[in-house]
Amino acid sequence: MRNPYKGRTGVDRILHAARYSAAGLAAAWRHESAFRQELLLALPMLPASFWLGATWGERALLAGTVLLVLIVELLNSGIEATIDRISLERHELSGRAKDYGSAAVMLALLLCGATWAAALWARFGPA
Protein backbone atom coordinates (compact mmCIF):
# COMPACT_ATOMS: atom_id res chain seq x y z
CA MET A 1 0.00 0.00 0.00
CA ARG A 2 1.40 3.37 -1.01
CA ASN A 3 1.60 6.18 1.54
CA PRO A 4 -0.41 9.17 0.20
CA TYR A 5 1.99 11.58 1.93
CA LYS A 6 5.02 10.20 0.09
CA GLY A 7 3.89 11.08 -3.45
CA ARG A 8 6.23 14.00 -4.12
CA THR A 9 9.34 13.47 -6.20
CA GLY A 10 12.23 15.47 -7.59
CA VAL A 11 12.59 19.19 -6.91
CA ASP A 12 9.04 19.40 -5.49
CA ARG A 13 10.00 16.86 -2.81
CA ILE A 14 13.20 18.74 -1.98
CA LEU A 15 11.37 22.06 -1.66
CA HIS A 16 8.72 20.59 0.63
CA ALA A 17 11.39 18.84 2.72
CA ALA A 18 13.28 22.14 3.06
CA ARG A 19 10.10 23.87 4.26
CA TYR A 20 9.48 21.15 6.85
CA SER A 21 13.08 21.44 8.02
CA ALA A 22 12.81 25.21 8.35
CA ALA A 23 9.56 24.78 10.28
CA GLY A 24 11.32 22.34 12.61
CA LEU A 25 14.16 24.76 13.28
CA ALA A 26 11.69 27.59 13.91
CA ALA A 27 9.66 25.40 16.29
CA ALA A 28 12.82 24.38 18.17
CA TRP A 29 13.78 28.05 18.50
CA ARG A 30 10.31 28.96 19.81
CA HIS A 31 9.75 26.05 22.17
CA GLU A 32 13.15 24.75 23.32
CA SER A 33 15.27 27.00 25.53
CA ALA A 34 18.22 24.57 25.46
CA PHE A 35 18.24 24.72 21.65
CA ARG A 36 18.18 28.54 21.74
CA GLN A 37 21.11 28.60 24.17
CA GLU A 38 23.14 26.13 22.14
CA LEU A 39 22.38 27.92 18.87
CA LEU A 40 23.43 31.26 20.35
CA LEU A 41 26.72 29.66 21.43
CA ALA A 42 27.12 28.06 18.01
CA LEU A 43 26.82 31.38 16.16
CA PRO A 44 30.24 32.68 17.26
CA MET A 45 31.80 29.22 17.49
CA LEU A 46 31.18 28.22 13.86
CA PRO A 47 33.10 31.16 12.36
CA ALA A 48 35.74 30.81 15.09
CA SER A 49 36.32 27.20 14.03
CA PHE A 50 37.64 28.46 10.69
CA TRP A 51 40.02 30.83 12.45
CA LEU A 52 41.15 28.39 15.15
CA GLY A 53 41.61 25.30 12.99
CA ALA A 54 44.96 25.13 11.22
CA THR A 55 43.85 22.55 8.63
CA TRP A 56 40.56 21.70 6.95
CA GLY A 57 40.39 18.58 9.09
CA GLU A 58 40.69 20.60 12.29
CA ARG A 59 38.13 23.10 11.06
CA ALA A 60 35.72 20.28 10.20
CA LEU A 61 36.16 18.73 13.66
CA LEU A 62 35.56 22.01 15.44
CA ALA A 63 32.53 22.99 13.36
CA GLY A 64 31.27 19.40 13.26
CA THR A 65 31.19 19.01 17.02
CA VAL A 66 29.23 22.26 17.34
CA LEU A 67 26.71 21.11 14.73
CA LEU A 68 26.53 17.70 16.40
CA VAL A 69 25.34 19.33 19.62
CA LEU A 70 22.52 21.06 17.72
CA ILE A 71 21.58 17.86 15.89
CA VAL A 72 21.46 15.79 19.08
CA GLU A 73 19.45 18.52 20.83
CA LEU A 74 16.89 18.47 18.01
CA LEU A 75 16.61 14.67 18.24
CA ASN A 76 16.26 14.87 22.02
CA SER A 77 13.55 17.50 21.68
CA GLY A 78 11.74 15.26 19.21
CA ILE A 79 11.85 12.35 21.65
CA GLU A 80 10.58 14.53 24.48
CA ALA A 81 7.75 15.96 22.35
CA THR A 82 6.71 12.47 21.28
CA ILE A 83 6.70 11.16 24.85
CA ASP A 84 4.68 14.18 26.02
CA ARG A 85 2.24 13.76 23.10
CA ILE A 86 1.61 10.14 24.07
CA SER A 87 1.00 10.89 27.74
CA LEU A 88 1.99 13.32 30.46
CA GLU A 89 1.53 10.52 32.99
CA ARG A 90 4.74 9.42 34.67
CA HIS A 91 5.98 6.10 33.32
CA GLU A 92 9.32 4.38 33.82
CA LEU A 93 9.90 3.86 30.08
CA SER A 94 8.98 7.46 29.25
CA GLY A 95 11.41 8.71 31.87
CA ARG A 96 14.10 6.37 30.60
CA ALA A 97 13.63 7.54 27.00
CA LYS A 98 13.93 11.17 28.08
CA ASP A 99 17.00 10.37 30.18
CA TYR A 100 18.65 8.62 27.21
CA GLY A 101 18.08 11.69 25.07
CA SER A 102 19.46 13.95 27.77
CA ALA A 103 22.52 11.72 28.14
CA ALA A 104 23.11 11.92 24.38
CA VAL A 105 23.06 15.72 24.55
CA MET A 106 25.49 15.67 27.47
CA LEU A 107 27.90 13.40 25.58
CA ALA A 108 27.73 15.65 22.51
CA LEU A 109 28.46 18.68 24.71
CA LEU A 110 31.40 16.90 26.37
CA LEU A 111 32.81 15.89 22.98
CA CYS A 112 32.44 19.46 21.71
CA GLY A 113 34.04 20.91 24.84
CA ALA A 114 36.95 18.47 24.78
CA THR A 115 37.58 19.06 21.07
CA TRP A 116 37.56 22.83 21.50
CA ALA A 117 39.75 22.64 24.63
CA ALA A 118 42.31 20.52 22.75
CA ALA A 119 42.31 22.92 19.80
CA LEU A 120 42.72 25.93 22.06
CA TRP A 121 45.51 24.19 23.98
CA ALA A 122 47.28 23.30 20.74
CA ARG A 123 47.07 26.89 19.52
CA PHE A 124 47.65 28.88 22.72
CA GLY A 125 49.09 26.43 25.26
CA PRO A 126 52.73 26.23 26.33
CA ALA A 127 55.06 25.57 23.42
Q: Quick count: other Cβ atoms within 10 Å of Cβ 27? A: 14
73 is an active site residue = yes
Phi/psi of residue 111, nearest 5 degrees:
-60, -45
Count of alpha carbons within 13 angstroms of residue 43, beta-carbon side: 5
**53 contact partners, CB below 8 Å, separation of at least 6:** 59, 60, 61, 62, 119
Q: What are the start-end ranges of the H helices in the chain? A: 10-31, 33-52, 56-86, 92-124
Residue of 58, 73, 89, 92 with catalytic role: 73
Annotated catalytic sites, by residue? Answer: 73
